[in-house]
């Protein structure tokens, strides 16, 4: 491994996706809002390479890169942080890998945190996770991605205090306190299949906002049911490494009001893929966050992926597993 140049320092950070199983408190609660559970996975993943520079430059080499607006917002986020700390240099950032934006993997959160952390490290600053989370503006709706970035594994959070705020996607919530972490622990080493539909468009930020506005608030009864399945079902199954129980509850969660509403956004096109997965032997199929990416568990995930690559070449198919550590820092 080469030593960093003191004149033009650089570094690389490897970051990982997260699967978000469901949000919870999506009703008019007197206690807390949002909350949810999910876990980090090894693939899709990205590498964020950062080189000290005079100006902020974003080179997104992924097949599905950030659009111009996304790159401008990221550069502006970093410029604000540079000015706040009077860092001497900006950074040239190169993003590579197979994490797609707006596909349910928490890509925006992970990339924002990696770029902010790299900016600090290049300037010999040592921020705390809380510092980086606050600077990123992420985690307003869910704490899964912000905690997975640093530690990986399974995360269960209790959202934020209810303060007469309407339910909204994370990118619209600014200057809020971070979600209250209930539990973070290693995830059992289960094989997981990933399906990323190429012909089902992801939701734009405007479409996400509109979805929240017309779907929330849910009834209290619907939220209580989802929370019961999440706590006594998913969480207990993970604690006991009971894959059969996990699969049973994951199927049930898909028909709870919040996750069902998210899935119905994609209509029959997504249902057809889900049905084909079950026909080919999947034990349980879930949609991560607001999708459209699906994930599934089975006795032989690799064999199902092999079959589905033939049956549905219009999707990207990956074999992955949970990752129980956070981002990896490399000297280059």
The answer to which of 46-50, 183-187, 204-208 has the lowest mean pLDDT is 204-208
CA 46 to chain centre: 13
* pLDDT digit string, tens, across residues 52-88: 999 999 999 999 999 999 999 999 999 999 999 999 9
The CA angle 134-135-136, to the nearest 5 degrees, is 90
How far is the C-alpha of 13 from the C-alpha of 117, rounded, in Å? 9
- pLDDT of residue 1 exceeding 70, the answer is no
How far is the C-alpha of 139 from the C-alpha of 127, rounded, in Å? 17
pLDDT at 225: 97
| Nearest C-alpha neighbor of 145 from the set 175, 116, 170 | 170
Beta strands in the chain (DSSP E): 10-25, 32-53, 57-60, 90-97, 154-157, 160-161, 181-185, 192-197, 284-287, 294-297, 315-320, 328-331
Region 13-41: mean pLDDT is 96
How far is the C-alpha of 185 from the C-alpha of 183, rounded, in Å? 7
Region 30-47: mean pLDDT is 95
pTM: 0.93
Do residues 49 and 93 lie in contact, with contact meaning Cβ atoms separated by under 8 Å?
Answer: yes
pLDDT at 94: 97
Percent of the chain with pLDDT strictly greater than 90: 85
pLDDT band at 33 (very low <50, low <70, confident <90, very high): very high
CA atoms within 13 A on the CB side of 111: 31
pLDDT at 169: 73
How far is the C-alpha of 269 from the C-alpha of 267, rounded, in Å? 6
pLDDT band at 128 (very low <50, low <70, confident <90, very high): very high
- pLDDT of residue 3 exceeding 60, the answer is no
* pLDDT digit string, tens, across residues 151-201: 999 999 999 998 877 787 766 666 567 899 999 999 999 999 999 999 999
* pLDDT digit string, tens, across residues 255-278: 999 999 999 999 999 999 999 999
The answer to which of 12-26, 32-46, 173-187 has the lowest mean pLDDT is 173-187
pLDDT at 172: 64
Q: Give the number of other Cβ atoms within 10 Å of residue 146's Cβ.
A: 28
How far is the C-alpha of 128 from the C-alpha of 285, rounded, in Å? 36
- pLDDT of residue 2 exceeding 50, the answer is no
Strand partners, 97: 46
Domains of the chain: 10-186 (3.30.230.10), 192-320 (3.30.70.890)
Percent of the chain with pLDDT strictly greater than 70: 95
| Nearest C-alpha neighbor of 208 from the set 155, 268, 141, 255 | 141
Name residues whose C-beta falls within 8 Å of residue 18's C-beta, 6 or more positions apart in sequence: 38, 39, 40, 41, 105, 106, 110, 144, 145, 148, 288
């Amino acid at each position: 491994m080469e030593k960093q140049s003191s004149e033009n320092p650089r570094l690389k950070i490897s970051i990982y996706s997260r699967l978000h199983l469901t949000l919870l408190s999506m009703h008019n609660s007197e206690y807390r809002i949002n909350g949810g559970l999910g876990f980090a996975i090894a693939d899709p993943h990205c590498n964020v390479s950062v080189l000290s520079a005079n100006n902020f430059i974003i080179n997104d080499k992924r097949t599905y890169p950030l659009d111009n607006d996304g790159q401008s917002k990221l550069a502006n986020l970093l410029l604000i942080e540079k000015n706040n700390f009077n860092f001497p240099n900006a950074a040239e950032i190169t993003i590579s890998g197979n994490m797609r934006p707006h596909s349910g993997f928490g890509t925006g959160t992970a990339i924002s945190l990696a770029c902010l952390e790299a900016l600090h490290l290049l300037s010999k600053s040592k921020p705390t996770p809380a510092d980086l989370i606050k600077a990123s503006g992420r985690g307003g709706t869910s704490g899964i991605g912000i905690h997975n970035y640093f530690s990986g594994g399974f995360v269960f959070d209790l959202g934020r205090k209810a303060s007469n705020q309407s339910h909204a996607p994370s990118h619209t919530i600014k200057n809020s306190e971070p979600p209250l972490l209930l539990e973070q622990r290693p995830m059992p080493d289960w094989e997981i299949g990933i399906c990323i539909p190429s012909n089902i468009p992801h939701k734009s930020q405007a479409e996400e906002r509109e979805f929240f506005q017309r779907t929330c608030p849910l009834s209290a009864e619907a939220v209580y049911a989802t929370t019961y399945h999440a706590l006594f079902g998913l969480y207990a199954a993970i604690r006991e490494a009971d894959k059969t129980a996990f699969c049973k509850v994951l199927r049930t969660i898909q028909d709870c009001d919040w996750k069902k509403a998210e899935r119905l956004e994609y209509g029959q096109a997504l249902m057809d893929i889900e049905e084909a997965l079950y026909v080919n032997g999947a034990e349980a199929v879930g949609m991560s966050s607001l999708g459209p990416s699906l994930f599934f568990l089975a006795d032989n995930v690799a064999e199902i992926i092999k079959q589905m690559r033939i049956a549905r070449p219009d999707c990207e198919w990956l074999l992955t597993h949970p990752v129980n550590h956070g981002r990896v820092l490399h000297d280059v």
